[in-house]
Chains A and B, each alone.
Chain A
Amino acid sequence: MQIEGSCPRTQRELIELEFIEHRTKILDIAAFLDRFDRSIEHNANDDFRIKAFREALAALNSSEFGRVERIQMLLSDLSSELRAERDGQSAYGAAKESEQ
């Protein structure tokens, strides 16, 4: 895997091309968290998905390369055991604590 110099755009070009798009995305995340705080009922502060989300945000703030892969792993089921049977058709987006 090549990291150094693998993106053909300069940092200045990336800012010109993509800053506004990602500014919008970070404001959307902030607004989601504010909305969560304003909720009519605070009944999911310990939900496994929001806990994983907050861990992912902390990892996002790292200055070390490899943020996407680390966040992917934070949002993954890292157990190796196969489920005994299917519990539904859809995944949740983060691993339940019992499965980590």
Chain B
Amino acid sequence: MMNYIDLHAHMVSRTTDDYHAMALTGCVAVTEPAFWAGYDRVSASAFADYFKHLTEFEPQRAAKYGIQHYTWLCLNPKEGEDRALAREVLAIIPQFLERPNVLGIGEIGLNRVTRNELATFIDHVELALEHNQLIHIHTPHLEDKYKGTKAIVETLASNSRIDPSRVLVDHVEEHTIRMVLEHGFWAGLTLYPMTKVSPSRAIDMLEMYGTERLCVASACDWGPSQPLAIPNCMFEMRRRGHSQQWIHEVVYANPSRFLSQNPKFRLAPLEQALVG
């Protein structure tokens, strides 16, 4: 069995059985970006409760299965339209940034690619720069993917204070991967049954673009998604004829390289991880 890191997993919406299955298939760490709850929250205090959950309860739940839990904080792009709420949430985020499992700001980005969403995205980028945080970026869905990714990449590229090696642009697909990699960012391929990429398509892109600065993740959440998407993809990689070393680069070494830019990310030996 090969160990892997799931760089994008919304574990608050998954069962404990999922942690168990992930542990059995070699998952040693997850990173959980802040997410939309399925409805628009109406106050900053709801976010404070959520950030507490992400930084206190969830790491304990994961540790029981030997999985290290890290997180990213933000107001998710789906709620970025409400500028007043965004300002309130941005004001409370710094008090959580020093917590031991917080790796940076994310997943920030765009949803329906509106003016307000872009303004909220820029505010989050400024917060990350001010506090020297890694950035994890969500790109929009389906027909909005190309336009939104282009707007995000252009916004970041115009800011000379951004170091692209400290930014991961997630949910890339065939029509957006090139622009992300060419600008020096890390890119994430999220393995989703329908609306993102299948394991086969993710492997196609890895074969054509190479493995440098590319990661895969499940992005599992409360929608149709698979917490075991990475081991399924690893099986497909073997079936495609790729070596163990090639697979290790993608599912373990690459996410470890990106995340280790924050010194709080340290992979513990399994026997230590199991006692938390």
Interface residues of A (CB under 8 A from B): 1-3, 6-9, 13, 17-18, 68-69, 72-73, 75-80, 82-95, 99
The answer to whether A6 and B208 touch (CB under 8 A), given A80-B150, A86-B81, is yes
- A35, B56: Cα distance in complex, Å: 51
Q: Is the CB of B81 within 8 A of A17?
A: no
Query: Which residues from B are CB-within-8-Å of A83?
Result: 112-115
- A48, B140: Cα distance in complex, Å: 19
Q: Which of B139-170 contact A (CB under 8 A)?
A: 140-147, 150-151
Query: Which residues from A are CB-within-8-Å of B114?
Result: 82-86
- A23, B240: Cα distance in complex, Å: 19
Q: Given known contacts A18-B200, A72-B173, what 14 new A-B pairs fall within 8 Å (CB)?
A: A1-B178, A1-B208, A7-B240, A8-B241, A68-B201, A72-B146, A72-B174, A77-B147, A82-B113, A82-B118, A86-B81, A86-B112, A86-B116, A95-B143
B208 to chain A, nearest CB (A): 5
The answer to whether A76 and B145 touch (CB under 8 A), given A7-B240, A82-B114, is yes
- A76, B175: Cα distance in complex, Å: 9
Query: Which residues from B are CB-within-8-Å of A90?
Result: 141
Q: Which 5 A-B pairs have the closest CB atoms?
A: A91-B142, A72-B175, A8-B241, A76-B146, A91-B141
For A2, the closest partner residue in chain B by CB is B208
Query: Which residues from B are CB-within-8-Å of A79?
Result: 147
Q: Is the CB of A75 within 8 A of B143?
A: yes
User: Would you call the interface of chain A mostly helix, strand, loop, or mixed?
Assistant: loop
Q: Is the CB of B142 within 8 A of A73?
A: no
For A90, the closest partner residue in chain B by CB is B141
Query: Which residues from B are CB-within-8-Å of A3?
Result: 208
The answer to whether the Cβ of B94 comes within 8 Å of any Cβ in the partner chain is no
Q: Is the CB of B208 within 8 A of A8?
A: no
Q: Is the CB of B178 within 8 A of A85?
A: no
Query: Which residues from A are CB-within-8-Å of B113?
Result: 77, 82-83
Q: Is the CB of A1 within 8 A of B81?
A: no
The answer to whether the Cβ of B207 comes within 8 Å of any Cβ in the partner chain is yes
Query: Which residues from B are CB-within-8-Å of A1?
Result: 178, 208-209
Query: Which residues from B are CB-within-8-Å of A91?
Result: 112, 140-144
B190 to chain A, nearest CB (A): 15
Q: Which of B102-119 contact A (CB under 8 A)?
A: 111-118
A13 to chain B, nearest CB (A): 8
Q: Is the CB of B147 within 8 A of A9?
A: no
- A84, B204: Cα distance in complex, Å: 37
Q: Mark B121-146, 1 if CB is under 8 A from A, else 0.
A: 00000000000000000001111111
For A93, the closest partner residue in chain B by CB is B142
The answer to whether A6 and B207 touch (CB under 8 A), given A17-B239, A68-B174, A86-B114, is yes
A sample of 11 inter-chain contacts (CB < 8 A) reads A1-B209, A8-B242, A13-B241, A72-B146, A73-B146, A76-B146, A76-B175, A89-B36, A89-B78, A91-B141, A95-B143
For B241, the closest partner residue in chain A by CB is A8
- A8, B111: Cα distance in complex, Å: 36
- In this complex, the member of B36, B142, B145, B204 whose beta carbon has the largest number of chain A beta carbons within 10 angstroms is B142
The answer to whether the Cβ of B210 comes within 8 Å of any Cβ in the partner chain is yes
Q: Is the CB of A9 within 8 A of B115?
A: no
Query: Which residues from A are CB-within-8-Å of B36?
Result: 89
Query: Which residues from B are CB-within-8-Å of A84?
Result: 114-115
For A89, the closest partner residue in chain B by CB is B78
